[in-house]
Structure 1
Amino acid sequence: MDLHELTDFIMEKGKNRFPDPDAVAKAIQKAARSSYRLPKTMNDSVNQVLSISITSMKALESQIKEFDKAIKAQMELLPNVLISIPGIGPVYSAGIMAEIGEIDRFNSQAALAKYAGLAWKQHQSGGFEAEVTRLIPSGNRFLKYYLCEAAFSLVRCDKEYSDFYHLKYKEVNRCQHKRALTLTARKFMRLVFRLLKDNRLYCPAK
């Protein structure tokens, strides 16, 4: 299929999870052009290995679904304001709440951001301040993971966060997705802090 058709196929089957489906389509076409047919003696062995791998993946997917059901059942017994956010289901909300613990431990969203590793180093000298800074190396990497994954899910479900992500994506020419996702996760973290602190449901901006 041509590039446009392949890109549409990837977007549909990937459920818009790929940040740059056009680049994925080009990579697949390149791999297809450089591939070659295996000899019969190797073909059966390769097919068997692939079959075993696919069976293992399906078994893992089945286990993940069972764990998701168990997490959902447990979360239904707890007060959970984060479930009101579009795209944030019981698994993401459970991970975030478990890693944060008691929200009253943090007196500000900045303190929570530092705990999650979503804070930036300050590079400045006198009146100069660097335009490009890196995230602090410390922080709870599990909380950071859940915030980033949940933020990307929110990008697909909420216009405000979708617009914010794509705005940040277009601001630079390199590391676009990583930068945009990190900044979106930082924005999302402020929302999480406020909802948990006030114990209220999410109300999207009109």
Structure 2
Amino acid sequence: MKLFVGLDVSSFDIKACFLNGEGDQLNSFTVSNDLPGATQLRDEILKTTQNQSVSEMKIGLESTSVYSFHPSMFLHNDESLRALGGQVLVMNPKQIANFKKSYSDMDKTDEIDAFVIADYLRFGRLPMSIVKEEQYVALQQLTRARFQIVRQTTQEKQRFLQYLSYKCNTFTEEVESSVFGKAMMDLFLESYSLDELSSMPLEELADYLRTKGKNRFPDPEYVAESIQKAVRSSYRLDKVVEDSIDTMLATSITLIRTFEKQIKELDKSIERIMKGVPQTLQTVPGIGPVFAAGIIAEIGQIERFENEAKVAKYAGLYWRKHQSGRFTADDTTLSRNGNQYLRYYLVEAANSIRRQIPEYSDYFAKKYQEVPKHQHKRALVLTARKFVRLVDALLRKNQIYTPKRSVINEA
């Protein structure tokens, strides 16, 4: 027999609908969305297939964040269902909504939604994803959390620069050194007034930078001199305002350092899991465990994509067309659709490999010169789009990277 189980999952319960290969409804019921409820659901599936020769069993549910996670993993890992060849699949809710439009005079109820999901499984020609193994689920949670913290770090650094411009409005123009280095951050934490920095002996300020920077400044005297030049040419603030700015700078520095520490901890956890994940992406120069994890955790099984173009579209690495009559616009925007996490890790990885692989470096330079606006961003995204072809080839064929093979696959 063929059995298709559609599940409509909410935070409280699970609506289930069983269909056979001909589309006949075999069972329909509701269980609670907890361990006893999932166990009851499993038992009902086993009862339905008892003394039957099962040729196909698919259990499907929409991807609804944490609500669907636990039941999908419970059913995926159940040995009795695996012994029957059961597959647990997750689907994009938009695909189910579009599929439902083919039914006429159908109301919106959870029971009906469970039936539609089961029928969607029965047709079987539309894209679905097999539930990932625990290590991939863990990687996805870690890499997505890392993405969010990186974004928070970037936002906080922008706020920090805004606060700094209030305290010393010419600092970033005069000082040719990163304001986010340890020595600079420590200097701002000292809450020196501009007059104090201006009157500080040059050698004392240089020694401070040398000590805090652990001798990483090539010319601390020059940096100290540029700091004092910026301080002397900046506007002075009322003490009440300056004290408030110093407080915000200190708070911002604390947040940035906390975020950076969290990112390092996440990276350690990602690297630990990646040691047990078979993959070949890390054979590409410039791709470490974090970038590889971010990519494979979002792609999952590469076989669910027909080709590399589908992977690129899933990541949102394509441009909208703007055409009217015979006119086609040259300046179009990157799609805002797609998986933002996959897009981020592909772009970051592309930015890394272009510094390591001449082929990608040349391609980036070529695309950079093609347009007068948005040069860096456009060239980097196009390089990421090119990189998708390599990712697809390595994952699909389980190959290790070699420059010669890369050229053959992309020809």
Question: Is 1:78 the counterpart of 2:277 in the alignment?
Answer: yes
For residue 54 of structure 1, what is the aligned residue in structure 2?
Answer: 253
1:145 aligns with 2:318: no
- For 1:19, the equivalent position in structure 2 comes to none
- For 2:244 and 2:336, the matched residues in 1 are separated by 45
What amino acid maps onto 1:59 in structure 2?
Answer: T
Give CA-to-partner distance per residue, 1:23-77, whole Å, 9 cap, x none: xxxxxxxxx6984122333333322321222122111111110110000000011
Deviations 1:151-199 (A, max 9, x none): 1111222222111111111111011112111110100111100110110
Please show how residues 1-206 of structure 1 align to structure 2 within 5 Å.
9=177, 35-123=234-322, 130-205=329-404
TM-score (norm. length: structure 2) = 0.40
Distance 1:130 1:64 in 2: 40
Tell me how far 1:102 sits from its aligned partner. Answer: 0.2
Residues in 2 aligned to 1:192 and 1:124: alpha-carbon distance in whole angstroms: 31
Residues 85 and 6 from structure 1, CA distance in 2 versus in 1: closer, same or farther, beyond 3 angstroms? farther
Which segment drifts farther, 43-52 or 145-154?
43-52
Distance 1:134 1:36 in 2: 40
Percentage of pairs with the same residue = 53
Aligned residues: 184
**What residue number does 1:18 align with?**
none
Write out per-residue CA displacement over residues 60-96 of structure 1, whole angstroms, 9 at most, x where no aligned residue. Answer: 1111101100000000111121111122111111111
User: How far apart, CA to CA, are the structure 2 residues paired with 1:49 and 1:123?
Assistant: 45
Aligned residue identity for 1:75: M
Which structure's relative contact order is higher, taking Cα pairs within 8 Å and 6+ residues apart?
1
What CA distance in whole angstroms lies between the structure 2 residues aligned with 1:78 and 1:38?
A: 56
Go from structure 1 to structure 2 and tell me whether the alpha carbon gap of 1:40 and 1:193 turns closer, same or farther (over 3 Å shift).
Answer: same
Displacement of 1:130: 4.9
Larger displacement relative to structure 2 (121-130 or 84-93): 121-130
**Equivalent-residue separation in structure 1 for 2:389 and 2:339 (angstroms):** 16
TM-score by length of 1: 0.77
C-alpha distance in 1 between matches for 2:330 and 2:241: 54
Q: C-alpha distance in 2, partners of 1:35/1:69? A: 42
Counterpart-to-counterpart distance in 1, 2:246 and 2:329: 53
Q: Which residue of 1 aligns with 2:61?
A: none
Change (3 A) 1:204 1:45: same
Q: 1:72 to 1:41 in 2, by over 3 A?
A: same
Distance 1:182 1:40, change over 3 A: same
Change over 3 Å in CA distance of 1:60–1:125 after alignment to 2: closer
Identify which range, 110-119 or 193-202, moves more after superposition: 110-119
* Greater Cα shift, 161-170 or 112-121: 112-121
Bigger CA drift: 177-186 or 111-120? 111-120
Mapped to 2, the partners of 1:199 and 1:178 lie a distance apart of: 30
1:50–1:133 CA distance, 2 compared to 1 (3 A): closer
User: Which AA in structure 2 matches 1:153?
Assistant: S
Deviation of 1:134 (Å):
3.9
Select between 123-132 and 148-157 the one with higher mean Cα deviation. Answer: 123-132
